[in-house]
Amino acid sequence: MNEQTTAVPARWQDEVFDLLRRAGVTQFGYVPDAGHTILIDRSIADPDVYAIALTTEEEGVALIAGADLGGARGVLLMQSSGVGNCINMLSLINSGRFPFLALVTMRGDFGEGNPWQYPMGQAVVPVLQAVGVTCLRADTPAEALAAVSAAITMVFQAGQAVAVLFTQKLLGAKRF
């Protein structure tokens, strides 16, 4: 992995995108987020995938279920605050045993300066677990790639629901 101190920013997210594409993911549902910029931009630029801008994260949960009904694979890109918007819709995933993959950029976590982000940031793991989604945390670029690889197997081979959490140790806390 490149060090954060090199002139060229570390682009571990490019490798995440390539992992998803190699796994056959063609529907990228997203709510705009600074931490997901590279993945969002790559999905928009890729002519073989659909980049689907959502008005709220729960739309992405239903989108992924629909993709699965049609034999396609999707991923939901969102921030931790968006997890709260998904909970009831995740009953579709849980009760139907749909494969479900989400990549979550964390706020309200390591070094957060905005108090509004804490309630949902700290609730991400317990609420996702409560509704049947397994959480994998990633604190470094190497952990992020390992977690996404593991999640791809868990979701698309074993049919599980998995969220990979990109923590603020990995992303850096937003400055105010």
Partner 1 sequence: MTSPASDLAADAPIFELDRREALPALIGRHEDFLIVAGLAGTARDIAALTQNAPHGFTMGGAMGGACMIGLGLALAQRDRRILVVTGDGELLMNVGALATVALMNPPNLSIICVDNGHYGETGYQKSHTSLGTDLERMASGAGIKLTRTVQRAADIPSGAQLLRQGNATVFVLLRVNTGEPPVYKRIWDPVVNRAQFRTGLLGR
Q: Which residues bind partner 1 (CB under 8 A)?
A: 26-27, 50, 52-56, 58-72, 74, 88-89, 91-92, 95-98
Place of tokens 């682009």: 11
CB atoms near residue 97 (< 10 Å): 11
**Shorter beta-carbon distance to partner 1: residue 38 or 51:** 51
**Burial environment of residue 131 by CB neighbours within 10 A (0 to 12, 13 to 18, 19 or more):** middle
71-89: buried (b, 16+ CB within 10 Å) or exposed (e) per residue? eebbbbbbbbbbbebbbeb
Nearer to partner 1, 72 or 136 (CB): 72
Give the phi and the psi of residue 29 in degrees, each rounded to 5. Answer: -90, 135
Q: If DSSP codes are grouped into helix, strand and coil, which group holds residue 77?
A: strand
Of 100 and 166, the one with the shorter C-beta distance to partner 1 is 100
Nearer to partner 1, 93 or 106 (CB): 93
Nearest distance, CB of residue 149 and partner 1, angstroms: 24
How near is the Cβ of 48 to partner 1 at its closest, in Å? 12
Q: How far is the CB of 34 from partner 1 (least distance, A)?
A: 21
Q: What is the nearest approach in angstroms of partner 1 to the Cβ of residue 66?
A: 3
